[in-house]
Amino acid sequence: MVWEKVKTFAKCDDGAVTVDFVVLTSMTVLMGTAVLLAISSGLHNGSNSVDQQIVSTSTQAAVIGQQIVSGN
């Protein structure tokens, strides 16, 4: 009697799609996190480089603007 219920339960696959979806989704999130951690230092260095270039360009433009205003 109990053995028949165990066999019936083992053959039932109604929740298998949900389990597959959860596993695939969690693996996708983990892979995304791993990639983000791997490239985060490069992104930080690149953004600092862009920041330094913008500050440098802004400073040069301000100096040129002051020279034009003062007539030098």
Q: How far apart are CA 24 and CA 31, in angstroms?
A: 10
14 SS3 class: coil
pLDDT for residue 72: 58
- Per domain, the residue ranges of the chain are 2-70
Give per-residue pLDDT as tens, 31-42: 999 999 988 888
pTM of the model: 0.47
What digits encode the pLDDT tens for the residues 37-70? Answer: 988 888 888 888 888 888 887 777 666 666 666 6
pLDDT for residue 7: 81
Distance CA 51, CA 40 (A): 16
